[in-house]
Each structure stands twice: as structure tokens, then as C-alpha cells.
Chains A and B, each alone.
Chain A
């Protein structure tokens, strides 16, 4: 039976995460100005406080479901911008853990691994990836050459799962994925990417030059199996973008309407002031996006996270989330006027931060392709 209420356990997790986010917010401007600094693994401010995700492990059964509770926590965390605790899993080790052999899980499963796909000439279209791997039978090693950019969490991680092209087989060069650990010979780290926003978000570039890896580092995954990881993360990333937009919307509402002047939900649209009307429309968009993301997470909870069942819903959540993040932040800063540009407030930062959420982890356009192909029953070749 349809239900939109949070369980007591959900509420407890949200409250814990919200308290931490409030602390995180006090570091927002610092890390915005110091983008080369990687935050500590755990900030001293939260020492002794329960980690919401560890609490989740204990009370999972009383939540609305693990992936739903994780999303609720993530949304609160994103409002704080700077994470008080480094995340314990990233996309790369997620792939190792669902697709690796027992030996690989043992070797790499406990490490924090990013995923490295993007190259200067390959973003939304991974088929353009030019990074290569060739096999050296004499040493049973693989030799990798690639330039990987915009790799999330790479600065703090132990390495990455790197997607490259293998040797030609029947006219095609198949995708291959390798675990590349930091310290590997031939790996050169190029440091943090200079970005418009989300400057506290660890994002690094690196190069592989004749990087030799033992064959145990090669994962037995094809492109499709690798991409499944995004079905779970897309709605999460959409939620983070939405959260940032939500922070700005709350800020705009309080500054423009006055703290005691709530929006009037009784009156009809045409009799509202222009500002009130826009705030209500943006709030409606925020809520519609939130429910779309929650529905996707609920489906994931019901049907499984790593089987690709929610590919279309994840794409829908991300497409709408990215669009909402753009629209809400752009309109809020316009409504705030010149004072909204000032670095005295975080509004201008949220405006810069939110824009990436319709680009990375599947641009809005790519997600619309996924949805449209499914609706129209078209192949990748028929609609691209």
C-alpha cells in the first residue's frame, strides 16, 4: 500500500546526517577556496559521533530499505557539501565486489577504488575511449596506456578500475577493465582538476604509460556489466544535485519571503506575486524530482541493485535531477539579485556547484537517449 512516511529508523538516520551536514557547511567556503586539499578521512568535529552509515548497518531492517535509507542520508550529507567522513566504497570497488573473482575480491574488494572512464575525447560516448591494453604472454602481464581525466575520488582512493580497449578480436577492440593501484609503475598522477564548482569534490587526472599489471588485475567484465554500477549511482548523484538546489531554494525562500512569511499554498497561481509564484513552481519541481528519485530507489530496493532492472528509471531520475538542479539554481540566483552574487553567502557557490549534476555520471542528453530508446523500442544504432 502506497506510503510516503519515513520509519523511525529512517528519521533517526536523517537526523544524524543532518547534524553532520550542519558541521560540514562550516567548511564549505574553506574547501571551495582550497581545492587542492583533500579533506581528512574523518573530521575531528565528528569524532565520537555515530557514523550514520554504520548506524544504518545496525538498523537496516527497520528502515524503508537499505538503498532508500542510503539515499536519504546522502541527500542530507550533500546539503553540507563537505563530507565529514570519507566514503568507504566507490564505484570501482563496487564493480570488483559484484563482478570480481573470489581472489580479486580478496585482493581489491576492501580498497577504495574510483572508476576511470573519461578521457579528453571520450565523455558521454564511452565508445570513443582510446586507452589501450595489450597482453605480454612472456610475463603474463597486461600493458596499459591511457589518459584518464575527471576521475572522482581518485585523489584519496587506493586506485581505480580503469576502462580501456583490449587487442582487436574479429574487427573490434573489446572494452576491458583493470584494477590499477596507486604506486603502479607507469602511473602518473596529475592532481586535482580545476573546476567551476564542487571544488571540495575530489576529482583527479592521471596518465598510464606502459603501465604493467599482473593478469589478476584484469576484471572479467564487459562494458554492459561495468555500466550496471551506474544504475544505482545515477539516482544518488541526481539526489545530490537536487539537495544542493534545495539548499539554495530554502535560502532564496527565507531571504525573499522573510522567515515568518510562508508561501501561500491556498491561492491560485495567477494571484501570487511573481516571486512567490516562481518559488512555488520551483518547489513543485523539487518535490516532483525527489519523488522520481525515491521511486527509482524503491524499485531498486524491490528488484535488486546490480541486475540492471532499474536502468530506465535511473536514467529518468538523473535526467530530471540534472534539469531541476540547473533550473532551480539559475532561477534562485536571478531572484536573489545582486546580493545573491556575494561570497558572503553560499548561494553563488551552490549555483556553481549544481551545474555539473546534469553533466557527469551520465549527462541529461545521454539519459534521455536511454529513456527514449526504451520508449520507442529503438536500438542504439536506430537512435543516437
Chain B
């Protein structure tokens, strides 16, 4: 039965997070971007929402609720939203696809009162990277794997206690839980990025890291790596929806106040129509992420709808940020306003894989 109705519980969670995100995260966004790091205070505030912890609880996870929350966080700041979404992805993968032993060993880590970073490491630092093919290899010998390769754009890498490394093993994609302290693991210094600067995206190299087969996700059953990638695409779509919304909300009052050639910018069709389009696109992005999340929630294969949601969101969020910048003119280019940060973040968030989860 087709319905877009949110339950009362979902609406309450949505408005609670909206208030938190706007009051606590939004004011911190530009400073974090400039500093290239997120203050502990904000990380702890994020942690206090218990969004990440909820993913570990039995029946605690709802992809639909998660897209609602990620949109709200994304509307405050895409970087801070990803600081939540990245450990979410890790916890979800363990909770969904980990063996009983793995769940028991790892999920407890996320019940601490302090922000706990962990990340899924999907991307690789190569211009030829594709999500269907990995240069990172895991060779099995007896009861252990040897993991070799370099992962790139790992969020909060230096803070992570664990990585879930996607690697090719026996000719197929597989996932391995690797403690950061394992011999052979090196977290490289962040090189700095175009956008999402405070995420400290960094490379992590794995030099012949010994991984016992007990640390292969799902142990002898293995896992479905595509599910992890689908989930990330939906999460990124939801955050992009929020980012698009924040641009729109910022552009409206400015274009109504700014007078050009005798009338407010917003009273000119060229500007007003772009604003209308931004709104139409933000809404459409939202329904796309909802549908993909619904497919995940109802245990359907969401690969197609996740790809389409991400494809659409990636295209629209860039165009929305671009039009927002144009409406602001020179002010948009100046760092006093968040527009230029959103412009950089929009391009960044639309080319990533694996670093969020719903």
C-alpha cells in the first residue's frame, strides 16, 4: 500500500534531531571545516544522540528512520553527518552480517559514553577505482588471510579502533575486520581534501596484515559486500538531501533581501525559478532515498534503487550548490558565508563510496 506517512515515533525522532543538528552542529560546521578537524565536544555531542549505538541494538535499526535522521544531520553539516554515518556503517555491517562471536566482541565497543570511531574502508587511492573491483587483496592460507593494499578516504581514520576492509579474496569482494593496532596497519597523515575537510579523510595501508579467518565478516559464511555499498549510497543520498535543503534555506532570505536593478533578486524569474527547482529536486531526492531505505528495511535487494537514489542526489546536490553560489554572487565565493563550503562539500559527497550507512 503506497504511503509516504511517517509514524509519530519517526516524526518525533526527526524533529528532535533537527533541533539538535541546527542548534549544536550547524554553528560548529564552518569552524570545523577551517580547522580540518571536529572538536571532541562536538563528537561527544554527536555521540549523545545515541544514533550510532542504536544500530547495534536488536531491532534498533531502521533504514527509513536512519535516512530521516541523516537528512537532518546533513542539513546542519554534511561533514558532521558523516562523522555519525561512518561508524554507523561499521556497526551496521557487523550487526547485520557479522557472526554471533563478532557481534559479541565488537558491538560492545560502541556502548561507551565517548565518541567511538570505526569505518568501512571501501575506496582506494587510484583514479581508476571502481566499486566492483578492489586492488586490496586478501590471500587465504589455511586459517588466516594476509591482507595487502591501500585504502583511501577513510573517515576519521586516525580515531578509528577498527576498520572493515573491503578486499578481493578468491576472486570476489569480501570484508575483513582489522584492528587499527594490528601489525602492518599504518594510518597515513590526512593530505587534506576539497571538501568534508573535518572528516580527516586519510589513507590506511595494510602491509601483509595477518587476519585470522575469525575476523572475516560473517566468518565461514562470508558476507554480501554489495549490501554495505548499497547502504552507503542511500546514506550519502540522505545527507545530500539535507545539504541541498540547507542551501535552499540559506538562499531564500538572501535573495529576498538583496536588491539588484531596482527589485529583490528573488522577484526575478531567473532566480525564482532556480529556487523552485531546488525545492522540487530536494524533495525528489528525499523520496528516492526513502524508497531505497524502504527496500532495505523490507529485506529486498536495493542495489538498483540505491544506485539511482545516489545518481540522482549526486547530480542534483551539485547543481543546487552551484545555483546557490550563483544567486549569492561574490558573497557566495567568500568564506564568510557557508555557500562555498557547501559547494565543495556537494562535489565531495557525490563521488564517495562506502562511508555512510543506513
Contacts and interface: CB of A to CB of B under 8 A. Distances in A.
Contact of B294 (A2, A64, A289): A2
Contacts of A292: 280, 283-284, 287
A281 interface: yes
A288 B317 CA distance: 14
Contact of B2 (A271, A298, A378): A298
22 contacts: A1-B6, A2-B64, A2-B293, A68-B2, A265-B304, A265-B306, A266-B226, A268-B130, A280-B308, A280-B311, A281-B315, A284-B309, A285-B312, A287-B305, A295-B283, A299-B4, A320-B280, A368-B272, A368-B273, A368-B277, A371-B276, A378-B272
Nearest to A319: B280
Given A269-B314, A284-B311, A291 B288 contact: yes
A6 interface: yes
Contacts of B129: 268
Interface string A269-285: 10100000000110111
A261 interface: no
B134 interface: no
A268 B284 CA distance: 21
A316 interface: yes
Interface of B: 1-7, 10, 64, 128-132, 226, 229, 252, 255-256, 266-267, 269, 272-273, 275-277, 279-280, 283-285, 287-288, 290-291, 293-295, 298, 303-309, 311-312, 314-315, 351, 353
Interface in A58-72: 64-65, 68
Contacts of B279: 316, 371, 375
Interface string A1-25: 1111111001000000000000000
Nearest to B130: A271
A267 B4 CA distance: 30
A2 B226 contact: no
Contact of A288 (B6, B252, B256, B312): B312
Given A4-B294, A319-B276, A368-B272, A267 B6 contact: no
Residue with the highest number of chain A CB atoms closer than 10 Å, among B131, B275, B276, B285 = B276
Contacts of A265: 303-304, 306-308
A372 interface: yes
Interface in A289-324: 289, 291-292, 294-295, 298-299, 302, 316, 319-320
A316 B130 contact: no
A13 to B, nearest CB: 13
Nearest to B314: A269
